[in-house]
Chains A and B, each alone.
Chain A
Amino acid sequence: DVKVTQSSRYLVKRTGEKVFLECVQDMDHENMFWYRQDPGLGLRLIYFSYDVKMKEKGDIPEGYSVSREKKERFSLILESASTNQTSMYLCATTGTGAQHFGDGTRLSIL
């Protein structure tokens, strides 16, 4: 069974802080994704990566960056956190089929 692990379930940070969200998968999948989930807006793609050191912008990349130094790890970075980045963040990975999600990180920016 695919396991996607996000480092924190809940996180509280302050405006202007640099925030790191970590995601690790154990299936040797090449493709990894970061989504943001807000009520009524569904799942919006922030960034995705097809391979180590590769990244592509999704639909809402502004204010975010990512890092993929190792195949199993995909990090989302909020360079200078703002209150409008308060949200649920979901990491996902896919092999040849559907996406497998982590449990999510509920991030609050105060």
Chain B
Amino acid sequence: GENVEQHPSTLSVQEGDSAVIKCTYSDSASNYFPWYKQELGKRPQLIIDIRSNVGEKKDQRIAVTLNKTAKHFSLHITETQPEDSAVYFCAASKGSASKIIFGSGTRLSIRP
């Protein structure tokens, strides 16, 4: 069945360094790839998304890359700050109105 694998499960980086989270998906028909950030005790919130007709998208310190051939997509956070500490989820779907399959999450900690 459809599956999204996410790595690593935990990540600790020094403040100011970059963080990278990687995901792979199994269904080649997937064409929409959102990323969510969930702070402790709060709801998941969309931080960036990418569609299959685009290879890269950037929003300030956050960027996402997509390799459709390899079925990989990644989240890059540059110049990390303490407020970046959270759990991050990648996801994939076959369209914005379709069900979304989530990865298992990455707990990112930023060391001062």
Contacts and interface: CB of A to CB of B under 8 A. Distances in A.
Contacts, number: 54
A97 B49 contact: yes
A39 B47 CA distance: 21
A62 to B, nearest CB: 16
A95 B96 CA distance: 7
A103 interface: yes
Contacts of B104: 40-42
A74 interface: no
Contact-residue size bin, chain B (C-beta under 8 Å from the other chain): 20 to 34
Given A42-B89, A98-B49, A99-B100, A90 B43 contact: yes
Interface of B: 1, 6, 9, 34, 36, 42-46, 49, 89, 96-97, 99-105
A31 interface: yes
A43 B36 CA distance: 11
Interface in A1-43: 30-31, 33, 35, 40-43
